[in-house]
């Protein structure tokens, strides 16, 4: 069954932050439309300027005011390019949602393993932070796969969370190592495979590039996690979505 947005908001851009060379953090405040009750891990249809709405995941906790999105410049000249180069504080934004079934299971007491790549960090940030806010005491591990050190962002933010919560770990994994050697290297799936002791009975949440999500899901399945305990949200480009629709996959 196709999901339909239950809430429609008119918002304005409250803050902008260039997180990396191609990811911009956009924070919105609501002008009208009421509240936006969503669950950690969900996404919304977000329309900037005259561009058609695109799907972007909420990065903030549902309990926080406003909305936070992490938007990667896809270099195609569309909405993401507008956000990267032309969006200004005060600009109007339309939001519809919430949508998506990859959501934090607040009743499960198994270890939480969140795996993100690129702007897939947004919903995984929401999942991890909401679990901490709810006082969930199991081990919470957030793996973030990046191509280079410069693609890692919010590292200081997560370091502060680790200092406050002994059960939380942020594990950035860099495919191409930098000179300092301060991060784990290789693919994020390599780090997962090395940390199998922490995966038993885990609930896994995955978001980011389809290849990474598919590889992580396959690895977790081989390690014995049941399909029902692997919740995946691959981020497809417009071209990939069109190809999937043509093939009857979406």
Q: Which of 35-44, 146-155, 174-183 has the lowest mean pLDDT?
A: 174-183
Question: For 195-237, what is each residue's pLDDT tens digit?
Answer: 987 787 899 999 999 999 999 999 999 999 999 999 999 876 5
Residue identified by tokens 């339909």 is 4
Total domains, the chain: 2
Question: For 91-122, what is each residue's pLDDT tens digit?
Answer: 999 999 999 999 999 999 999 999 999 999 99
Q: Are strands 112-117 and 203-208 parallel, antiparallel or unpaired?
A: parallel
Cβ pair 92, 99 in contact under 8 A: no
Whether residues 159 and 69 share a domain: the answer is no
pLDDT band at 2 (very low <50, low <70, confident <90, very high): low
Measure Cα distances from 31 to 13, 66, 122, 204, 211 in Å: 10, 10, 23, 35, 38
**248 in a structural domain:** no
Percent of the chain exceeding pLDDT 70 equals 92
Radius of gyration of the CA atoms of the chain, in A: 18
Q: What is the rounded end-to-end Cα distance, in angstroms, of the chain?
A: 12
Question: For residue 180, is pLDDT > 80?
Answer: no
- The pair of structure tokens assigned to 106 is 């607040």
Q: Is 67 helix (H, G, I), strand (E, B) or coil?
A: strand
Question: For 10-19, what is each residue's pLDDT tens digit?
Answer: 999 999 999 9
Cβ pair 116, 145 in contact under 8 A: yes
Question: For residue 73, is pLDDT > 50?
Answer: yes
Whether residues 73 and 147 share a domain: the answer is no
Whether residues 87 and 39 share a domain: the answer is yes
Whether residues 185 and 213 share a domain: the answer is yes
The predicted pLDDT at position 13 comes to: 98
Question: For residue 125, is pLDDT > 60?
Answer: yes
Whether residues 85 and 131 share a domain: the answer is no
State the Cα–Cα distance between residues 248 and 117, nearest whole angstrom.
Answer: 26
pTM assigned to the model: 0.92
Expressed as residue numbers, the domain containing 16 is 7-99
**47 in a structural domain:** yes
End of a domain among 39, 70, 99? 99
- Distant-in-sequence, close-in-space partners of 202: CB < 8 Å, separation ≥ 6: 110, 111, 112, 113, 220, 225, 229
The predicted pLDDT at position 243 comes to: 45
pLDDT band at 4 (very low <50, low <70, confident <90, very high): confident
Whether residues 42 and 138 share a domain: the answer is no
Q: Which of 102-106, 129-133, 171-175, 177-181 has the lowest mean pLDDT?
A: 177-181
End of a domain among 99, 124, 142? 99
Whether residues 57 and 129 share a domain: the answer is no
Whether residues 54 and 144 share a domain: the answer is no
Spell out the SS3 assignment of 104-147. CCCCCCCCEEEEEEHHHHHHHHHHHHHHHHCCCCCCEEEEEEEC
Who has greater pLDDT, 236 or 52? Answer: 52
**21 in a structural domain:** yes
Question: For residue 33, is pLDDT > 80?
Answer: no
Q: Residue 223 belongs to a domain with what CATH number?
A: 3.40.50.80
Question: For residue 66, is pLDDT > 50?
Answer: yes
Whether residues 126 and 216 share a domain: the answer is yes
- Mean pLDDT, the chain, rounded, equals 90
Q: Is 237 helix (H, G, I), strand (E, B) or coil?
A: coil
State the Cα–Cα distance between residues 231 and 221, nearest whole angstrom.
Answer: 11
**210 in a structural domain:** yes
Q: Residue 37 belongs to a domain with what CATH number?
A: 2.40.30.10
Q: How far, in whole angstroms, is CA 163 from its chain's centroid?
A: 22
End of a domain among 43, 75, 99? 99
Question: For residue 192, is pLDDT > 80?
Answer: yes
**144 in a structural domain:** yes
State the Cα–Cα distance between residues 155 and 137, nearest whole angstrom.
Answer: 22
The predicted pLDDT at position 3 comes to: 76
Who has greater pLDDT, 236 or 137? Answer: 137
Whether residues 197 and 90 share a domain: the answer is no
**116 in a structural domain:** yes
Average pLDDT rounded to a whole number, residues 73-87? 91
Whether residues 138 and 190 share a domain: the answer is yes
Average pLDDT rounded to a whole number, residues 67-89? 93
Whether residues 152 and 213 share a domain: the answer is yes
């Amino acid at each position: 069954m196709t999901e339909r947005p239950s809430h429609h908001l008119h918002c304005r851009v409250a803050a902008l932050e260039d997180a990396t060379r191609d990811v911009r953090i956009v924070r919105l405040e609501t002008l009208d439309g009421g509240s936006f009750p969503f669950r950690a891990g969900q996404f919304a249809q977000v329309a900037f300027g005259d561009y058609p709405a695109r799907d972007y995941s909420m990065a903030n906790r549902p309990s926080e005011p406003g909305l936070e999105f992490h938007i990667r410049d896809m270099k195609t000249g569309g909405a993401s390019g507008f956000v990267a180069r032309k969006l200004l504080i005060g600009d109007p934004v339309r939001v519809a949602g919430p949508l998506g079934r990859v959501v934090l299971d607040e009743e499960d007491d198994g270890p939480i393993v969140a795996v993100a790549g690129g702007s897939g960090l947004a919903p995984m940030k929401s999942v991890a932070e909401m679990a901490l806010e709810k006082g969930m005491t199991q081990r919470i591990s957030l793996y973030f796969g990046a191509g280079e050190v410069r693609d890692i962002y919010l590292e200081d933010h997560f370091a502060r969370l680790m200092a406050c919560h002994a059960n939380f770990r942020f594990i950035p994994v860099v495919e191409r190592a930098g000179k300092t050697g301060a991060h784990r290297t290789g693919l994020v799936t390599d780090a997962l495979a090395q940390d199998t002791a922490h995966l038993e009975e885990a609930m896994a949440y995955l978001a980011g590039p389809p290849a990474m999500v598919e590889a992580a899901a396959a690895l977790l399945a081989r390690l014995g996690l049941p399909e029902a305990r692997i919740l995946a949200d691959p981020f497809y480009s417009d071209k990939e979505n069109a190809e999937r629709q043509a093939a009857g996959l979406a």
